[in-house]
Structure 1
Amino acid sequence: MAFPTQRMRRTRRTPGLRGLVRETHLRPDDFIYPMFVAAGGDVRREISSMPNVFQLSINNAALEAKRVYDLGIPAVLLFGIPDAKDEAATGAYDPEGIIQLAVRAIKEAVPELIVVTDVCLCEYTENGHCGIVDGSSGEILNDVSLELLARTATSHAEAGADIVAPSDMMDGRVAAIRADLDREGFENTPIMSYSVKYASAFYGPFRDAAESAPAFGDRRSHQMDPANVREALRENALDLEEGADMVIVKPALPYLDVLRRVAESSDVPVAAYNVSGEYSMIKAAAENGWLDERAAVLEAMTGIKRAGADIIISYHAPDVAAWIS
């Protein structure tokens, strides 16, 4: 039997050949870097479950944003850690709140950087839930929460945010936010919606970082069941109908099949959020010498992009940008 004429190894022999035929490429401008902004002066507090990720005061967040931008990363995603919380989440929509002040400072320090703000109530409520809770039943009140989420998004736009990103998973929040933004003259502010957000076990380190773990219960009444795909497509379609300009699938690596389905069915840019647990697993394995961190991270990020992500939100972003520059 004659040897096959097609030898697949021909184009794998050297780094140059492999690079020439590579189908999926990572670039620094594929990424958004998430940052945690904390109240206080000159804070740089490492998060124990997320090595090399920090809670930063506004002055240090501005410095970090400049460093990130100089690496070629075009955008940051801000999460706020206020100095006080209450039942009405007033810190979320306070014009002088932690995120509003941080947006102004970062835009002043790095005007060209795209500032995306997470829109949710969980970091600002005493109970750590994503919406307003009925005190008697413990139920999260969807429609009551919409008004406060819309106020929060508009206050971020007023502070100078380039994109608002609702992550709460309340029904109808994209439409409510779009209406409020337009009414207040921010019709050009895009909404990047967490359209497909699962009730995932991989958020644990984030809740340490954002100090937003629920005081009781969980988030399964509004975040999606990890077993469902068709539901994800329905959620995504509804957010697009309501006016989302970009959508997010969260988490990324355990949901690459969902990411592919969402990318194929969407006519807007699709982001994948490589979440805290995904980050911390690789960091922990690397610190124990169980795998090569650089190789593992680049393989994971390439897989996310290959599955259909136009944008990758990841705590690995600065390292990736430095490695591939």
Structure 2
Amino acid sequence: MEDRPVNARFPAARPRRLRRTPALRRLVAETRLHPSELILPMFVKEGIDAPNPVSSMPGVFQHTPDSLRKAAEEAAAAGVGGLILFGIPEAKDERGSAADDPDGVVQKALRDLSSDLGGDIVIMADLCLDEYTSHGHCGLLTPAGEVDNDATLERYASIAVAQAEAGVQVVGPSGMMDGQVAAIRAALDGAGHHEVAILAYAAKYASAFYGPFREAAEGAPQFGDRTGYQQDPANAAEALREVELDVAEGADMVMVKPGLAYLDIVAKVAESCPVPVSAYQVSGEYAMVEAAAEKGWLDRERAIMETLLGFRRAGAAQILTYWAVEAAHMLR
């Protein structure tokens, strides 16, 4: 009897054999998704006495401190791997003073969550200035109205230390300032916070998909835009350079943001990067699926899981998604 060819063809080769039943498909699935790989972005706002729904992101809220604690406990119970906090202060100024105030909205929330959850879930915080500045940009401004990269690094360093002293486990610098990771690492180590990790927003693009987030975080620029410091959507090699620089400066993890329109970047980074790679399924991606599902144009739950699998298939080790808790329940 002749040996079967290594590259068999029809009718000997029938790939559909392994797709016939759900059990078979599970058995041979190449990509797995687990709740522990999901990170839930959460918004906490000063000066409100009840959770405030975000109109462009159904199911997402600006939380009070109490509702944040409850939602965080639900996420931990569902098996979600991490939370990342975004703060909305009552008062904003040119320097974003509330960002590193020990009694600022995020620092208070970090102390609460660290006390409540201990080691049950990884507690993270976005590290930027746009939610805190009166002008809505991610850094300090020069007299000409441009973002001052080097002066901003001093603010980021101070914010990192304030968040670390409040109990954060991972800081997420998202401003795309040159040298931000090195400045933050030096500040954390200098203050004795060697154990605090850095998830660098290493490849963050100037995207149209951030619109709903700007409602949720109340951080839209009051003039101009962020194309001067976020990456051009046309560029891929630049992302690899940004990642290489951040890793060399001490990043423990790196992020690609947004996700779906940049899966090629996720894949390129995952192939070359020596540290874990995260992808952010941003507000616009979330809103598109929710809006289409509300119209009955697609199967909502299947679309959620398909997009999350796409991130994992591209090489993302962690996924930031507003569906983290719901997806965790579906997976379990």
TM-score bracket for this pair, using the shorter chain length: over 0.9
Deviation per CA, 1:198-241, whole angstroms, max 9, x where unpaired?
00000000000000000000000000000000000000000001
Change (3 A) 1:4 1:91: same
Amino acid corresponding to residue 268 of structure 2 in structure 1: R
Partner of 1:48: 55
The question of whether the paired residues in 2 share the 8 Å contact of 1:42 and 1:59 is answered with no
Gaps of 5+ in 2: 1-8
Amino acid corresponding to residue 27 of structure 1 in structure 2: H
**Partner residue of 1:267 out of 258, 271, 274:** 274
Q: CA deviation at 1:193?
A: 0.3
* In 1, Cα distance between equivalents of 2:155 and 2:32: 40
**Partner residue of 2:240 out of 226, 233, 236:** 233
Amino acid corresponding to residue 303 of structure 1 in structure 2: G
Amino acid corresponding to residue 128 of structure 1 in structure 2: G
SS at match of 2:162: helix
Change (3 A) 1:3 1:160: closer
Partner of 1:180: 187
* In 2, Cα distance between equivalents of 1:286 and 1:99: 33
**Partner residue of 2:114 out of 107, 131, 137:** 107
Q: Calculate percent identity across the aligned residue pairs.
A: 52
Say what the alpha-carbon RMSD is for the aligned residues.
0.9
Partner of 1:124: 132
Amino acid corresponding to residue 204 of structure 1 in structure 2: G
* In 1, Cα distance between equivalents of 2:214 and 2:201: 17
Deviation per CA, 1:252-297, whole angstroms, max 9, x where unpaired?
1100000000001101010000000000000000011000000011
Establish whether residue 93 from structure 1 lines up as the match of residue 100 from structure 2.
yes
Amino acid corresponding to residue 123 of structure 1 in structure 2: E
Residues 1-325 of structure 1 aligned to structure 2 (within 5 Å): 3-112=10-119, 113-135=121-143, 137-325=144-332
SS at match of 1:153: helix
TM-score normalized by structure 1?
Answer: 0.98
Change (3 A) 1:170 1:12: same
Gaps of 5+ in 1: none
* In 1, Cα distance between equivalents of 2:330 and 2:15: 28
Q: CA deviation at 1:3?
A: 4.7
SS at match of 1:286: helix
Amino acid corresponding to residue 127 of structure 1 in structure 2: H
Q: CA deviation at 1:41?
A: 4.9
Amino acid corresponding to residue 61 of structure 2 in structure 1: F
* In 1, Cα distance between equivalents of 2:204 and 2:303: 24
Q: CA deviation at 1:25?
A: 1.0
* In 2, Cα distance between equivalents of 1:190 and 1:234: 21
The question of whether the paired residues in 2 share the 8 Å contact of 1:169 and 1:197 is answered with yes
The question of whether the paired residues in 2 share the 8 Å contact of 1:128 and 1:215 is answered with yes
Q: CA deviation at 1:93?
A: 0.6
Change (3 A) 1:62 1:31: same
* In 1, Cα distance between equivalents of 2:50 and 2:142: 35
Deviation per CA, 1:180-208, whole angstroms, max 9, x where unpaired?
00000001111000000000000000000
Q: CA deviation at 1:316?
A: 1.0
* In 1, Cα distance between equivalents of 2:77 and 2:216: 25
Amino acid corresponding to residue 122 of structure 2 in structure 1: I
* In 2, Cα distance between equivalents of 1:79 and 1:251: 17
Q: CA deviation at 1:324?
A: 1.1
* In 2, Cα distance between equivalents of 1:171 and 1:117: 20
* In 1, Cα distance between equivalents of 2:38 and 2:85: 14
* In 1, Cα distance between equivalents of 2:264 and 2:103: 41
Amino acid corresponding to residue 58 of structure 2 in structure 1: P
Deviation per CA, 1:82-115, whole angstroms, max 9, x where unpaired?
0100001100010110000000011112112211
TM-score normalized by structure 2?
Answer: 0.96
SS at match of 2:58: strand
Aligned pairs, how many?
323
